[in-house]
Amino acid sequence: MAMNDPLANALSSILNDEKIGKHESMASPSSKVIRKVLGVMRDSGYIGSFEETKNGRGDLIKINLLGNINKCGVVKPRYSVKTTQFEKFEKRYLLARGMGILILSTPAGIMSHDDAKKKQIGGKLLAYCY
């Protein structure tokens, strides 16, 4: 199986496991970006804790699900976003104002769009979750 976008694979496996009511999900391979995105989702209350298991080939991440995700996915293409454009992308990817998060990669690291707004920095859209 070809792996073009490990982040997309991780998020879709989380979404699938969430939909069938599982309490945990496995994502492989692990990467720094995936761990950071999961960290943002954890801090926003969408997933529980997650831990990494070394298996010598790409490693595995075990994620505890809380049943809080209705939809999550990656944003393709990875749009560049200025601080003034967040609302446009919130309308496009999220259900309603103040509901859900956009996850973006900024010069200050990977964070939710709310944090980026507070810090007045833009970046590239990676994913969304609500």
Whole-structure pTM value: 0.93
Question: Domain total for the chain?
Answer: 2
Same domain, 25 and 57: yes
**CB-based burial of residue 100 (10 Å sphere; 0-12 exposed, 13-18 middle, 19+ buried)?**
buried
> Could you tell me if 61 and 107 lie in one domain?
no
The pLDDT, as a whole number, for residue 97 is: 84
Residue 25 lies in a domain: yes
Q: How far lies 73's CA from each of 37, 41, 57, 59, 69, in Å?
A: 11, 12, 24, 21, 11
Asked whether 101 and 128 are in contact (CB, 8 A), the reply is: yes
Say yes or no: 83 and 104 in one domain: yes
For every one of its 130 residues, what pLDDT tens digit does the chain have, with 9 covering 90 and above? 567 899 999 999 999 999 999 999 999 999 999 999 999 999 999 999 999 999 888 899 999 999 999 999 999 999 999 999 999 999 999 998 889 999 999 999 999 999 999 999 999 999 999 9
**118 and 99: one domain?**
yes
- Domain residue limits at 90: 72-129
57 & 81 share domain? no
The pLDDT score that the predictor gives to residue 2 is 60
**Domain stop point among 65, 86, 102:** 65
CATH number, position 12: 3.30.1370.30
81 and 42 together in one domain: no
Identify the three-state secondary structure at position 72: strand
Residues 11 and 57 occupy one common structural domain: yes
Dihedral of alpha carbons 75, 77, 83, 89, sign: negative
* H or E element in which residue 81 lies: strand 80-81
Distance from C-alpha of 43 to C-alpha of 77, rounded to nearest angstrom: 25
Cis peptide before 6 (omega within 30 of 0): no
pLDDT in the model for residue 117: 95
90 assigned to some structural domain: yes
CATH number at residue 112: 3.30.1490.10
